[in-house]
Amino acid sequence: MHNRIVQQMALALASVAATPAALACEVAPFSDAWNWGASSAWEESADDCELRAQVTSIDASAAATVSYLRRDPLAPLRLHFTVEAPGLPALNAIQGVSLVRGTPRSAVTEGAAPVFNVVLLGNLSSTAYILGLQGWCAGSSCSVALPSFTSDAFPLDITLDVEIGDETAGLLRLWVNSDPDTTAPSAVLPVPGNAATGGADRVTLGLLATTPAFNQVAAGVPFVFGRIRTSDDQVFWTDFESLAGNVEPNRPPLTTGGGVNSTYAGTTCGGSLLLPQIAYGATSLIGPVAIHRLAWSDTLQNVSLQHAGPFPLRMFLCPAGAGPSGACIAAGQSNGYDIVGAPGGDYQLVIGADRTSECGEYTVTVIGPLDD
């Protein structure tokens, strides 16, 4: 039985493993990348460095993003980028994707709404596109929709100003296909008291938290982000990962008791509800989450997940201490298993659902010895 699992896992790992290609260019300070059910890569054009992102899976929420941590989360911020999507079909009101987002530290442990979020979707009749601007207002999400537009408006030229403030202060301003220095904003969203979030700790650009409905029509469509500029000129490490994401395991640690292989049957029912987002806010887990600690010394170790029930569970391997807000590794799906492999280290195994608030049962199998 174990030999068959080993063979299946080896084949699956070969199919889902990715070796990062050498970067031809990169726009500072966007130094961190996260891809799940999607792909992203920097590409050098004639006079620019562009980010090319596209969805590759139609199954669940996907993300193809780059991001960075801010030195001062409360400081004013200006972001600028262009985006074009050749071949993008008509979208409806549930076929949406976030293009840029500012994640507060409190999003990880308290589920706070993003400090800012720019969303692309369609109108009810699927005859035009709409940009939505979202922010944090008095403890919940607030938003404003811009006038609809057609494909002739692409490439979109977007500038976003973010002001963080106390009580009555706090403001988001968005310009689309206009000069922010000479024209009025296309949209203004008052966000009073948004400093209560702690500010925009991480800025993420690309395709974020796509809906399955969006994936059905947009998988394979390239989104090209160009002329990327931010008023943050340096990257400084903060305690976003080391503190906010440091959620304690709520399930027994996985060990092999001196043996080679181990299997654990569990459930996410009764699990933590304080993990709404992982990977810098680019991916959401809706329901209760189970967290196991596991560690190994070998160069590479493999973990597989099987789940029962009408809906899928997702599995992520996250550095221990960094928690699920850090650079987690998403399991790839093959032959009925969710499989993830990583170098030796100390990890948290995070299991949860991304499309339902229900809980479910699962079985985890580890091939190879674990540290006890």
**At 174, which CATH number?**
2.60.120.200
Residues 50 and 188 in one domain: yes
- Pick from 172, 115, 169: nearest CA to 146: 172
Q: Is 24 part of a structural domain of the chain?
A: no
State how beta strands 49-55 and 223-230 pair. Answer: antiparallel
What is the CATH classification number for the domain harbouring 247? 2.60.120.380
Tokens encoding 310: 């009408």
Tokens encoding 80: 């600028």
Q: What is the CA radius of gyration of the chain?
A: 21
**pLDDT score of 22:** 33
Q: Is 235 part of a structural domain of the chain?
A: no
Q: Is 14 part of a structural domain of the chain?
A: no
Q: Is 350 part of a structural domain of the chain?
A: yes
Residues 220 and 328 in one domain: no
Sheet holding 171-176, edge to edge: 38-44, 49-55, 223-230, 77-84, 156-163, 171-176, 187-190
Name the DSSP class of 23.
P
Alpha helices in 191-329 (DSSP H): 212-218
- pLDDT tens per residue across all 372 residues of the chain: 444 433 333 333 333 333 333 345 777 778 788 888 889 999 988 778 999 999 998 766 788 998 888 878 899 999 999 999 999 999 999 999 999 999 887 654 455 578 999 999 999 999 999 999 999 987 778 999 999 999 999 999 999 999 999 888 999 999 999 999 999 999 999 999 999 888 998 899 999 878 889 999 999 999 999 999 998 855 433 333 433 445 678 898 887 665 567 788 999 998 877 554 554 454 556 678 888 888 877 665 678 888 766 677 888 777 776 544 455 666 766 666 777 777 777 888 888 886 677 888 999 888 767 776
Residues 103 and 155 in one domain: yes
Whole-angstrom distance, CA of residue 249 vs CA of residue 186: 45
Residues 162 and 275 in one domain: no
State how beta strands 38-44 and 202-208 pair. Answer: unpaired
Question: Residue 93's CB: how many other CB atoms inside 10 A?
Answer: 13
Q: Is 329 part of a structural domain of the chain?
A: yes
Under 8 Å between Cβ of 158 and 120: no
* Domain C-terminal end among 180, 202, 230: 230
**pLDDT score of 274:** 59
Whole-angstrom distance, CA of residue 289 vs CA of residue 250: 9
- For the chain, the domain total comes to 2
**pLDDT score of 241:** 40
Whole-angstrom distance, CA of residue 34 vs CA of residue 12: 20
Question: Residue 320's CB: how many other CB atoms inside 10 A?
Answer: 16
**pLDDT score of 224:** 97
* Domain C-terminal end among 180, 203, 230: 230
**pLDDT score of 78:** 95
**pLDDT score of 112:** 58
Under 8 Å between Cβ of 198 and 106: yes
* Domain C-terminal end among 230, 253, 273: 230
Q: Is 298 part of a structural domain of the chain?
A: yes
Query: In which domain, by residue range, is 49 found?
Result: 29-230
Under 8 Å between Cβ of 144 and 189: yes
End-to-end CA, the chain: 23
Q: Is 250 part of a structural domain of the chain?
A: yes
Torsion-angle region of 29 (φ positive above 0: left; ψ -120 to 50: alpha; else: beta): alpha
- DSSP strand E in 164-197: where? 171-176, 187-190
Q: Is 3 part of a structural domain of the chain?
A: no
